[in-house]
């Protein structure tokens, strides 16, 4: 099979799956905020159909509130969420069970948040092993007593970080590009560290409200960063006329600086994922640290797999020499498609 014959099906496959999986981490979110005693505004955001979280043919997920709750107003609906106002009586949901029927046995996680008008809050996660969340019955002990335990927050947001980096194919392609650019040397450690530091800074700034950019242009710029990285990987280091070596580009000389610059963009993309999920108000530092640790673990898993592959093909000759240019072409092709798609989406 020719190189072109190999590249075309690879590009087609990745384009078909990649567009659906770039930033596809979309847990469901059920947010209940008390307006006055016993009256809550309820926002339900199910997972997107493109996320693949629901099994084919499965009915849509609809939350089930306690029987004491009655709907008093419809606040609006869209393709992404529904909003209603309910009156749950003097018990104010305390001690009641909130469920999302059908989530057991699915691939969906649902985050439930209840916030009372006195500042107390409770939250929990519904997943395949259980579809009910029992709201704490007593407010004694303050907000911390009703909030999610620290160990649960650390574990949950850590796993969210791992899932997001592994399911966000644009981030995966960028990490692969960094690996191909610098190889398995100390420069790789510095480059990945710079990338991690940069996206940690912008992620924290966005979550804390210190930085805000529209998500659509950010996603487009992330795709462009992959295009530029792929172009650098395909750059011929020899002058076509003389065959003499060219001076290395700034990217080749200082890959950590490029990784840091583009990492700032990727951090804003991570912030978009956290914005979908929400961060417990009383556990923001812990949630941020856990999410970043999860992202770093995911990156290390990717790099570890690449190191194994590199060790297996190291020293190979013949067709492998030609195939070394296939990954940058695939990366660039997919990233160009993402760029066009994302620019059209907000233009």
Encode pLDDT of 63-103 as tens digits.
899 989 999 999 888 777 889 999 999 988 888 889 888 87
At residue 167, the pLDDT reads 77
285-297: average pLDDT: 86
| 326: enclosing H helix or E strand | helix 326-346
Q: What is the pLDDT of residues 207-226, one digit of tens each?
A: 777 777 777 788 888 899 99
Closest CA to 236 of 310, 170, 324: 324
CA-CA-CA-CA dihedral for 134, 140, 142, 148, to nearest 10: -30
Tokens of 129: 């092993």
At residue 18, the pLDDT reads 43
Cβ atoms < 10 Å from Cβ of 57: 5
Query: Rounded distance, CA 294 to CA 278, Å?
Result: 16
Cβ atoms < 10 Å from Cβ of 227: 17
Closest CA to 199 of 251, 259, 124: 259
Query: Would you say the pTM of this structure is higher than 0.85?
Result: no
Out of 182-186, 308-312, 317-321, the most confident range is 308-312
269-298: average pLDDT: 77
Mean pLDDT (the chain, rounded): 76
What are the start-end ranges of the H helices in 85-149? 142-146
Query: In sequence order, what are the residues at sequence separation of 6 or more whose Cβ sits closer than 8 angstroms to the Cβ of residue 341?
Result: 19
Is the separation of the CB atoms in 188 and 175 below 8 Å?
Answer: no
Tokens of 48: 């997107």
23/180: higher pLDDT: 180
Question: Is the CA virtual torsion 86, 92, 96, 102 positive or negative?
Answer: positive
């Amino acid at each position: 099979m020719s190189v072109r014959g190999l590249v075309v099906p690879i590009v087609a496959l990745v384009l078909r799956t990649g567009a659906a999986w770039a930033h596809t981490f979309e847990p469901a979110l059920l947010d209940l905020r008390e307006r006055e005693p016993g009256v809550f505004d309820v926002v339900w955001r199910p997972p997107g159909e493109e996320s693949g979280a629901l099994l084919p043919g499965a009915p849509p997920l609809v939350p089930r509130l306690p029987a004491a709750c009655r709907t008093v107003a419809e606040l609006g609906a869209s393709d992404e969420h529904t909003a209603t106002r309910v009156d749950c009586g003097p018990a104010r949901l305390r001690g009641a069970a909130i469920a999302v029927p059908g989530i057991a046995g699915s691939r969906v996680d649902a985050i439930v948040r209840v916030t009372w008008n006195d500042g107390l809050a409770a939250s929990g996660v519904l997943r395949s092993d259980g579809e009910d969340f029992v709201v704490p019955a007593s407010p004694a002990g303050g907000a911390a007593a009703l909030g999610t335990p620290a160990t649960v927050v650390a574990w949950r947001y850590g796993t969210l970080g791992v899932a997001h980096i592994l399911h966000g194919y644009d981030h995966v392609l960028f990490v692969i590009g960094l690996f191909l650019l610098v190889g398995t040397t100390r420069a790789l450690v510095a480059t990945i560290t710079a990338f991690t530091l940069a996206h940690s800074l912008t992620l924290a700034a966005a979550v804390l409200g210190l930085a805000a950019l529209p998500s659509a242009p950010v996603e487009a710029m992330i795709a462009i960063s992959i295009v530029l990285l792929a172009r650098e990987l395909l750059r011929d280091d020899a002058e076509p006329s003389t065959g003499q070596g060219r001076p290395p580009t700034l990217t080749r000389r200082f890959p950590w600086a490029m990784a840091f610059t583009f990492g700032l963009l990727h951090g804003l993309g991570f912030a978009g994922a956290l914005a979908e999920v929400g961060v417990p108000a009383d556990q923001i530092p812990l949630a941020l640290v856990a999410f970043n640790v999860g992202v770093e673990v995911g990156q290390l898993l990717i790099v570890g797999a690449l190191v194994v592959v590199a060790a297996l093909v190291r020293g190979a000759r013949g067709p492998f020499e030609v195939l070394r240019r296939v990954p940058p072409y695939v990366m660039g092709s997919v990233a160009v498609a993402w760029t066009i798609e994302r620019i059209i989406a907000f233009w």
